[in-house]
């Protein structure tokens, strides 16, 4: 792995400056540990969960639990009737009337210790009447399927989500471009295939944990491991009828998120319990087993693709029908479906497109945000179909990708004209790194060797008005404190924000601190830490705040020196005059100001810059055709390739080397961009080779690291080449756009293509486990 070097520079943007000690960078040196002390009055919460995927709740008896010494009280869905949800308000605090997935919270218990609370949970009796579960999204979308949410037609949702009342379809996003039926008659080659992508779990090293306290005056404080403190405040306050000004969320550094800590999930439970039992803090933490199936998972997907090209290999038509397994509640999943819809072609220029992206309620765990936000699942299907089509028409896959990838000025499936992108350069870099033209020999007689390449694109999936804000405070010692509302989850965003502020203001990077923890009472607003949008959106807000502070400093000095501010600059923390060559350190002026000539008073005072950013140009899309002027703010595009060996005796895939190239607009910190490429690829490789929730009759059979394997250092290839391509984003800070999620998007498809190249077999449904590969080799007669 590339490690950031200890490089000091006066121009930090585009340089790989060292990341300061994280605690110091986030807190400005203050002591703030993860083990927040709440005193001896801390209470603990545990939950009685449903053992059934779909059932009516006939009776709840918690009388025995209340008699257990140490138990303070219980809560059920009757105590909190309002619904909550980010994009679709369909979820209860506790199950009301019926349960919809195994693990759903039915009764909450508060006690003096976690052990007593757990013992009380065992004393609660719940009587159920079993209902037929929906366990397949394609069946769930049919009229014959039992309704999981009969009230779907009454749920609140924004105007860009399209639920179908009296069905299990919580969002149906459509694209209709060109004349697809006529296009099929012009195709020289057509591929049709159905791909099935399983649910996977985020498995952050730190499970979900939250503490909530409601004061006697009704004010609520929530301490949570969260990517979305401001969204949590807004959603919970509204559902509980609390003014947002009386609801405070504090978000310390978190031990991994990958999307599972976005929005509101288990945090609603301790808040609800605290509302009922005021005056003492209440802690709720998920066990590792609960983490696997009671909270967000990545949605499963059934994707049916038909794609065709002419005899030269030019793409002519794509039909893409996706059934997203949204699980029991789809308040976040409906937007994953929308993102999959408007990006349904992948980064390919296709004149005729018909897309149906359908979010379906099932009685599986709740689908939510996962790194890539639907793009890894989508590309697993689309990119494999393109590899199949290239083989069928007789074109080299790399040449096929280069021939058909999107370029700046192309009209996308939604009618949007795409900005300048460097995806063709990405393809060329990856092919060159893998020595694509050379067919390497296997390392042993029992090995098969192959190479594969896949493309990726992703746009920030967000509402059209998701905003960011920032403050830049100048300190009397010459340092700068940056306040933001976006969260540091290990992606290095605070380092990038410090670099952006330093560059825009004109001070050394080492003099900039980013304050924390994020606290909705004091931190400036940020929509959420999701969608690979912080470098772009929050970065714009930080740059604007720094420029505001810079202008205030220069205006003060200009007035004091009797000069035009246009003749002044800030370099290395000094205000300099290009006219007189006079200079002064900012630490001498940014708090106490400067004296006027002839002892005529003072000018200036404490300097604080404020900045914000919100895109204003994203338009709505037609509900029937998906057409509009601008569907998204931008796309980050790239390519990825692998070389693998397959052991015929075991079926095990070994990745020998990998190459990743992405157009990031402008790399604010090149080393961290490369590390994102490496880490994202490894996470994508993990889902390609190992990961999948084994759901049988709605029950997850592998909710532990004993049975749910993720990639480790032993699975990482010895060689990972990374390439940064820079085609500047017109509205990005210094031209930058995000890269956090994108490197895992093409990994499954790249491995699948390499597997085909090595074996001649199409094994299309991940994970490509040793057992699955060996059985396929055996069936094909490739092993004895």
Rounded Cα distance, 52 and 639, in Å: 43
* 65, containing H or E segment: helix 63-67
359 CB-near residues (< 8 Å, 6+ apart)? 169, 170, 171, 172, 324, 326, 330, 333, 334, 336, 337
What single-letter DSSP state applies at residue 441?
P
H helices of 516-568, where?
539-561
Which residues on neighbouring strands pair with residue 44, listed in sequence order?
A: 111, 283
H helices of 370-474, where?
375-393, 397-404, 423-433
Cis before residue 169, ω within 30 degrees of 0? no
CB neighbours of residue 321 within 10 Å: 17
- The alpha carbon of 506 is separated from its chain's Cα centroid by a whole number of angstroms, namely 32
Rounded Cα distance, 592 and 105, in Å: 56
Q: Is residue 325 helix, strand or coil?
A: strand
Rounded Cα distance, 361 and 229, in Å: 27
Which residues on neighbouring strands pair with residue 57, listed in sequence order?
A: 128
Q: What are phi and psi of 441, to 5 degrees?
A: -80, 150
* 357, containing H or E segment: strand 352-361
CB neighbours of residue 76 within 10 Å: 21
Q: What does the buried/exposed string (b/e) look like for 476-492 if buried means 16 or more CB atoms within 10 Å of the residue's CB?
A: eebbbbbbbbbbbbbbb
| DSSP per-residue letters across 143-191 | TTSPPS-TTGGG----TT----TTSSEEEEEEEEES-HHHHHTT-SEEE
Active site residue 138: no
H helices of 264-332, where?
268-276, 288-293
- The alpha carbon of 23 is separated from its chain's Cα centroid by a whole number of angstroms, namely 23
Choice among 129, 526, 741, 771 that is catalytic: 741
Q: Are 578 and 615 in contact (CB under 8 A)?
A: no
Q: Is 334 exposed, middle or buried (0-12, 13-18, 19+ CB in 10 A)?
A: buried
Longest dimension (CA), the chain: 98
Rounded Cα distance, 342 and 340, in Å: 6
What single-letter DSSP state applies at residue 245?
G
Cα–Cα distances (Å) from 525 to 92, 228, 549, 609, in that order, read 26, 11, 18, 15
* 107, containing H or E segment: strand 105-111
Rounded Cα distance, 768 and 729, in Å: 37
Supply the angle between the helices 268-276 and 229-239 in degrees, to the nearest 10: 40
Rounded Cα distance, 131 and 22, in Å: 50
The structure tokens listed for 769 are 């486990």
Residues catalogued as catalytic = 741
């Amino acid at each position: 792995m590339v490690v950031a070097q200890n490089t000091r520079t006066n121009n930090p943007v585009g340089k790989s400056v060292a990341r300061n000690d994280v605690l110091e960078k986030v807190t400005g040196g203050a002591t703030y540990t993860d083990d927040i002390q709440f005193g001896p009055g801390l209470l603990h919460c545990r939950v009685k969960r449903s053992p059934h995927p779909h059932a009516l709740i006939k009776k709840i008896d918690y009388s025995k639990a209340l008699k257990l010494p140490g138990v303070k009280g219980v809560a059920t869905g009757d105590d909190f009737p309002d619904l909550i949800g980010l994009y679709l308000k369909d979820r209860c605090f506790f199950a009301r009337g019926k349960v919809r997935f195994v693990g759903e919270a039915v009764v909450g218990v508060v006690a003096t210790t976690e052990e007593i609370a757990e013992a009380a949970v065992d004393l609660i009796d719940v009587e159920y009447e079993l209902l037929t579960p929906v366990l397949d999204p394609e069946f769930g979308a049919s009229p014959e399927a039992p309704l999981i949410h009969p009230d779907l037609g009454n749920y609140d949702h924004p105007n860009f989500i399209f639920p179908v009342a009296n069905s299990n379809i919580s969002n149906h996003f459509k694209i209709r471009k060109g004349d697809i039926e006529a296009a099929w008659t012009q195709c020289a080659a057509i591929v049709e295939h159905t791909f099935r992508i399983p649910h996977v779990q985020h498995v952050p090293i730190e499970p979900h944990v939250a503490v909530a306290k409601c004061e006697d005056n009704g004010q609520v404080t929530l301490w949570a491991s969260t990517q979305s403190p401001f969204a949590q405040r807004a959603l919970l306050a509204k559902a509980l009828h609390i003014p947002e000004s009386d609801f405070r969320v504090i978000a310390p550094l978190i031990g991994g998120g990958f999307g599972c800590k976005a929005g509101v999930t288990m945090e609603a439970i301790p808040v609800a319990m605290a509302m009922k039992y005021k005056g003492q803090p209440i802690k709720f933490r998920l066990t590792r087993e609960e983490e696997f199936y009671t909270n967000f998972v990545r949605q499963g997907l059934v994707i049916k693709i038909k794609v065709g090209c002419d005899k030269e290999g030019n793409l002519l038509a794509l039909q893409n029908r996706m059934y997203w397994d949204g699980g029991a509640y789809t308040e976040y999943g409906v937007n994953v479906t929308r993102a999959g819809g408007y990006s349904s072609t992948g980064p390919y220029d296709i004149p005729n497109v018909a897309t149906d992206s359908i979010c379906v309620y099932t009685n599986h765990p709740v689908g939510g945000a996962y790194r890539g936000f639907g793009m890894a699942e989508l590309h697993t299907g689309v990119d494999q179909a393109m590899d199949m089509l290239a083989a069928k028409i007789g074109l080299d896959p790399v040449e096929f990708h280069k021939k058909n990838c999107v370029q700046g000025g192309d009209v996308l499936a939604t009618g949007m004209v795409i900005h300048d992108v460097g995806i063709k350069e990405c393809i060329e870099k990856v092919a060159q790194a893998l020595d694509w033209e050379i067919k390497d020999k296997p390392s042993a007689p029992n090995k098969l060797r192959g190479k594969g390449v896949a493309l990726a694109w992703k746009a920030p999936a967000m509402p059209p008005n998701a905003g960011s804000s920032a403050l830049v405070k100048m300190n009397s010692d010459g340092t700068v404190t940056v306040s933001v509302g976006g969260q540091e989850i290990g992606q290095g965003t605070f380092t990038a924000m410090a670099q952006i502020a330093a560059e825009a203001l004109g001070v050394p990077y080492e003099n900039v601190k980013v304050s924390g923890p994020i606290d909705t009472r004091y931190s400036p607003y940020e929509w959420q830490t999701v969608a690979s949008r912080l470098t772009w959106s929050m970065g714009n807000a930080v740059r604007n705040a720094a420029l505001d502070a810079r202008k205030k400093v220069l205006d003060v000095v200009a007035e004091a020196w009797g000069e035009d501010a246009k003749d002044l600059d800030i370099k290395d923390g000094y205000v300099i005059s290009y006219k007189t060559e006079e200079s002064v350190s900012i630490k001498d002026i940014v708090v106490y100001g400067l004296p006027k000539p002839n002892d005529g008073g003072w000018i200036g005072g404490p300097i604080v810059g404020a900045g914000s950013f919100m895109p204003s140009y994203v338009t709505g899309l037609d509900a029937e055709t998906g057409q509009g002027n601008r569907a998204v703010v931008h796309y980050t595009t790239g390519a990825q390739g692998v070389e693998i060996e397959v052991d015929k005796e075991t079926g095990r895939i070994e990745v020998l080397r990998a190459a990743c190239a992405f157009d990031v607009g402008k790399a604010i910190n090149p080393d961290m961009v490369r590390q994102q490429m490496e880490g994202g690829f490894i996470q994508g490789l993990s889902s390609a080779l190992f990961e999948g929730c084994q759901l049988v009759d709605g029950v997850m059979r592998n909710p532990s690291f004993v049975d749910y394997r993720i990639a480790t250092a032993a699975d990482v290839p010895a060689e990972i080449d990374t390439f940064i391509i820079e085609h500047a984003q017109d509205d990005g800070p210094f031209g930058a756009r995000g890269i956090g999620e994108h490197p895992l998007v093409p990994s499954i498809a790249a491995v699948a293509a390499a597997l085909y190249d090595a074996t001649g077999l199409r094994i299309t449904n991940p994970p490509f486990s040793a057992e699955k590969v060996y059985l396929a080799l055996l069936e094909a007669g490739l092993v004895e």
